[in-house]
Structure 1
Amino acid sequence: MYIDMLTWDTTDMDQVTKWLVETNYHEVWIGLRRDPEQPLVWRWINVKTGEGLTGEDVSESENWVTNPQPNVSCAAYNSLKKKWYSTVCTEQLKFVCYDDNLELVTENKTWDDAINHCRKMSSSKSKCDLLSTTTSSQFSYVRDRIYNATSEEVWTGLRFLGGEWWWSDGETLDHQGMLPDCPSQWEHCGTMSKYNTANWITRDCSERRNFICYCTEVAED
């Protein structure tokens, strides 16, 4: 129904905690569990592949109520204490999932066809476009979301027009220096790599590859 169970690197936990307290959800399952191959290690579930665990060992984190119990394998979150705690996986608790407004399209299209595809996804309740990644904090998350792309790179909403790099939603690129001031005649469109999203890549707009759309809700009159 959603992308996955909640992990600390996918959401703003201050906002989540506030919502949990307001709704009187004080103990909930989160996507944290013991590594079956390393009994003393606790990791987040792997939202990139949907299977297994990933990331650094968090067993020594200050976010635990107490040190994880030695004979249990799952973790929950106490919203009043703002801490994790370990407990048996068979305990019945409410749980928290997360979702976003991104959609990876695993069809190979040119940049123009990709943006048209995204915009045709719009409805009376939402407006859709090719993804505009305006902050560096979004890079690692988007990289995980495009992991299942069938092309190594995916189109984003980045395009060179009138001597400047623009996002398809009309915003200019904050760091113009990260891309060439005068790209070659055909490389006027931007991609992100599923293996390294630290930088945008300029490509020929007529090339065909996967792409990622995003949708935002339209305010009702």
Structure 2
Amino acid sequence: MRKKGRSELLLLLLSMAVLGLKARIQLTIYFPAEKLTWDEARQYCQDNHIDMVTWDKIDPELLTKWLEEKGLDDVWIGLHEDPEQQSAWKWINVKTGEGLTGEAVSESDNWANGQNHRGSCGSYDSSNKKWYRRDCSETLHFVCYDDNLTLVTENKSWEEALNHCRNLSTESDKCDLLSLTRSSDISYVRDRIYGATSEEVWTGLRFLGGEWWWSDGETLDPQEMPAGCPSRWEHCGSLSKLNTAKWITRD
């Protein structure tokens, strides 16, 4: 479990997909109270949440709005110069939690002009919506992000997995096997299950009464259905962290 005992400001950012029983996958950003170096900030984010924010995970406009409201301007984000290629900047790899993604950031993107220092770590200034190169040893506020997905690293049958997830429910929060009603969310979830000990994880996809259903009661979009009619036993759907197929049918 992640530790969340420190003083932080948080913001609900985005509802992405149905999780089950009206629960939704929610991205949340956190503004820890302390100032840390870039490396310390990333370690804090990984220890307490998922990672530092990157522009492909959060809405920059919403982030800017909340930074301004909280009186925070210059903050660390998950942007770093490539140690193997000077002046090439990349986002951190939130999939593996190590290194950079290989996804380059263009010099013409959001960089501030006329910078007098050439640090290797990136910060974001909400007052002018620009990125800055800074010395990684500087101490700044920083921004982390999290979601309400739980990856259960235990091997179970589909029915066992369904019961396990539902037993995690409380009076205020309903849990279920994940239902993905938008295919655009698959890449996000695939990155999140990268740490699974098995290649595949169960989803809430089930073939009943001649149709594919999600465990929250929603039917699957006909265009998203697994190809063909499932075999006699392969009536449950999994998602692979390596295979690019949308759904894999299993016993």
Question: Normalised by the size of structure 2, how large is the TM-score?
Answer: 0.76
Deviations along 1:121-142, one digit per CA (max 9) or x if unpaired, are 1112211111112222212211
Deviations along 1:13-41, one digit per CA (max 9) or x if unpaired, are 22222221221211111011011111121
The structural deviation recorded for 1:67 is 7.6
The 2-side partners of 1:69 and 1:51 are apart by 29
Q: 1:166 to 1:69 in 2, by over 3 A?
A: farther
Match of 1:133 in 2: 180
Aligned pairs for 1:21-36 within 5 A: 21-36=68-83
SS at match of 2:174: strand
Match of 2:27 in 1: none
Partner AA of 1:196 in structure 2 = N
Q: 1:62 to 1:198 in 2, by over 3 A?
A: farther
Q: 1:13 to 1:174 in 2, by over 3 A?
A: farther
Match of 1:38 in 2: 85
| RMSD of Structure 2 on Structure 1 (CA) | 1.8
- Please list every run of 5 or more consecutive structure 1 residues that lacks an aligned counterpart in the other structure: 205-221
The 2-side partners of 1:67 and 1:172 are apart by 54
Q: 1:39 to 1:67 in 2, by over 3 A?
A: farther
Match of 1:93 in 2: 140
Deviations along 1:45-96, one digit per CA (max 9) or x if unpaired, are 1111111111321042422223877731000111222221111112221100
The 1-side partners of 2:125 and 2:245 are apart by 34
Match of 1:186 in 2: 233
- Please list every run of 5 or more consecutive structure 2 residues that lacks an aligned counterpart in the other structure: 1-47
Q: 1:8 to 1:42 in 2, by over 3 A?
A: same
The 2-side partners of 1:202 and 1:154 are apart by 11
The 2-side partners of 1:69 and 1:160 are apart by 61
Question: Normalised by the size of structure 1, how large is the TM-score?
Answer: 0.85
Q: 1:164 touches 1:181 (CA, 8 Å); kept in 2?
A: no
The structural deviation recorded for 1:182 is 2.4
Percentage of pairs with the same residue: 67
